[in-house]
């Protein structure tokens, strides 16, 4: 059996783990909102129409922040449509996804939903078809306590306390030709800078996210970030990153190494942002908000007729059903984000319910966990304290897309306050188990408190509406510790979490 080794050192701290790394994303797209989080008449629905079974799963998932309301949707969104008496809210066409938006769920309702889940709101403003004044109006409505026209309107609408939204996205994917009102980097950078400066005149403590590239494959990747930040650097706190991955052409080996591309993305954006900062002799360092990331079989959806001109309410769109391999890659991507927590301090798994999501629902029926639910929920729960640098000794294998890739990927975290740690491991081999030893003596660990693995004899096994529990976490009974050394056997195509105490 092949072997690999991981060495840990609690002094090799990368950074504390910002809990915003475990965020998610709710867009008015497909059945994410309607028939997803919101379904009046469902047996578990509350007075607002929100499904209680979905709330329970979101809490179990461990989502800390929710980016809302888009996504491509936001670039044509008029926020005023979604507040006030529901019976007076207009139905609008959403050009992004060619569907009808009823506006029955808006900012005030969604804020109440967030309190049920214990999540923080990360709000996006429309800079595609709107601009500075509309962003300032939304900020006043959402955050000003009282005594102004828009804050008093919020109070009259049943939200007496300000929503106190701290983190704001300045548009969405403005580099993409698919985006309503998309722009050049120069035009967007100027608009984002003016909008950010105006918003901080209202509240200097806002945390603002400027749009970075919508993917590392964009022809303007890198140059987009440079030009935008040349304009907006002094006014913003984050630059966004978006990345989606999928298996193509049966190349499972390349897919399992997708985290290497995410690392390249992060390194490039950090280098570009720091270049701009150094030119400006700025003491500030721009952080990264990886506020869209997931597995998404976009090629298949683009070849279908899901997005059409029927103009329906909440059509079934982008409802990927995920496999074990998909979940292993998702777990590895999350490990990569945490490994870069010195610069990646916010992230949003896109999306939360039904639309390329870890949670699925049926109208009037069940809500269940996709395979991708499990690595996210366990990591959110166990990854506490700070991320540690690890030294990994592992064989490599050749991939068509990424070149040589390590068979083993590993992440470790340690919480000084509790003296507990966690190790997260991925075996990328498609055929062989892997015996791993982890030198954790310096953590002071004496026992394995928990060890779980996501794997299956069929890496393409899935959870479906008719078989909702086909795949799940299983205890890894091979995990043991002696004299500070942890040993564990990892099945092929697997993700494993080990809690140490």
Q: Please give the positions annotated as active site.
A: 173, 292
Cis peptide bond upstream of 69, omega within 30: yes
Rounded CA-CA distance 336/351 in Å is: 19
320: number of CA atoms within 13 Å, CB side? 26
User: 295 and 224 in contact (C-beta within 8 Å)?
Assistant: no
Rounded CA-CA distance 489/480 in Å is: 10
| Tokens matching residue 151 | 């804050």
Rounded CA-CA distance 257/374 in Å is: 19
Cα-only R_g, the chain:
22
| Tokens matching residue 5 | 């080794």
Pick from 342, 352, 334: nearest CA to 411: 334
Rounded CA-CA distance 401/258 in Å is: 9
Helix axis angle, 52-61 to 373-382, nearest 10°: 60
Rounded CA-CA distance 383/65 in Å is: 16
- Residues contacting residue 384 through CB under 8 Å, at least 6 positions apart: 17, 413, 415, 418, 420, 422
């Amino acid at each position: 059996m092949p072997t690999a080794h991981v060495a840990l050192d609690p002094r090799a701290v990368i950074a504390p783990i910002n809990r915003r790394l475990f965020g998610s994303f709710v867009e008015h797209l497909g059945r994410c909102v309607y028939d997803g989080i919101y379904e009046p008449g469902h047996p578990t629905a509350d007075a607002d129409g929100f499904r209680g079974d979905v709330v329970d799963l979101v809490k179990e998932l461990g989502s800390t922040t929710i980016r809302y309301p888009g996504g491509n949707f936001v670039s044509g969104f008029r926020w005023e449509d979604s507040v006030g008496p529901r019976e007076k809210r207009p139905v609008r066409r959403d050009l992004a996804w060619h569907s009808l938006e009823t506006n029955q769920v808006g900012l005030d309702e969604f804020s109440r939903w967030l309190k049920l889940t214990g999540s923080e709101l990360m709000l996006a403003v429309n800079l595609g078809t709107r601009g500075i004044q509309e962003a300032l109006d939304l900020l006043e409505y959402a955050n000003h306590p009282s005594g102004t026209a828009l804050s008093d309107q919020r109070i009259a609408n049943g939200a007496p306390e300000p929503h106190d939204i701290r983190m704001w996205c300045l548009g969405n994917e403005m580099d993409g030709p698919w985006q309503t009102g998309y722009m050049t980097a120069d035009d967007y950078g100027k608009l984002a800078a003016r909008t950010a400066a105006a918003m901080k005149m209202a509240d200097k403590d806002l945390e603002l996210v400027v749009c970075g590239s919508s993917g590392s494959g964009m022809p303007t990747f890198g140059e987009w970030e440079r030009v935008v930040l040349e304009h907006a650097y002094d006014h913003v706190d984050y630059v966004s990153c978006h990345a989606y991955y999928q298996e193509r052409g049966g190349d499972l080996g390349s897919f399992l190494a997708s985290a290497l591309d995410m690392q390249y993305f992060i390194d490039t954006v950090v280098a570009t942002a720091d270049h701009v900062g150094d030119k400006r002799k700025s003491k500030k360092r721009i952080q990264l908000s990886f506020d869209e990331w997931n597995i998404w079989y976009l090629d298949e959806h683009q070849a279908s007729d899901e997005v059409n001109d029927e103009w329906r309410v909440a059509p079934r769109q982008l409802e990927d059903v995920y496999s074990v391999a998909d979940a292993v890659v998702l777990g590895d991507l999350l490990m990569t984000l945490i490994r870069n927590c010195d610069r990646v301090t916010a992230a949003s798994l896109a999306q939360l319910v039904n639309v390329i999501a870890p949670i699925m629902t049926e109208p009037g029926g069940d809500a269940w966990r996709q395979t991708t639910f499990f690595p996210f929920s366990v990591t959110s729960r166990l990854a506490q304290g700070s991320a540690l640098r690890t030294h990994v000794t592992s064989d490599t294998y050749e991939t068509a897309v990424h070149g040589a890739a390590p068979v083993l990927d590993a992440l470790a975290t340690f919480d000084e306050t509790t003296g507990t740690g966690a190790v997260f491991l991925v075996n990328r081999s498609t055929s062989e188990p892997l015996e791993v030893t982890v030198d954790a003596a310096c953590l002071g660990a004496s026992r394995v408190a928990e060890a779980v693995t996501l794997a299956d004899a069929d890496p393409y096994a899935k959870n479906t509406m008719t078989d909702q529990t086909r795949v799940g976490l299983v205890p890894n009974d091979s995990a043991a510790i002696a004299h500070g050394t942890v040993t564990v056997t990892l099945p092929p195509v697997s993700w494993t979490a080990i809690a140490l105490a």
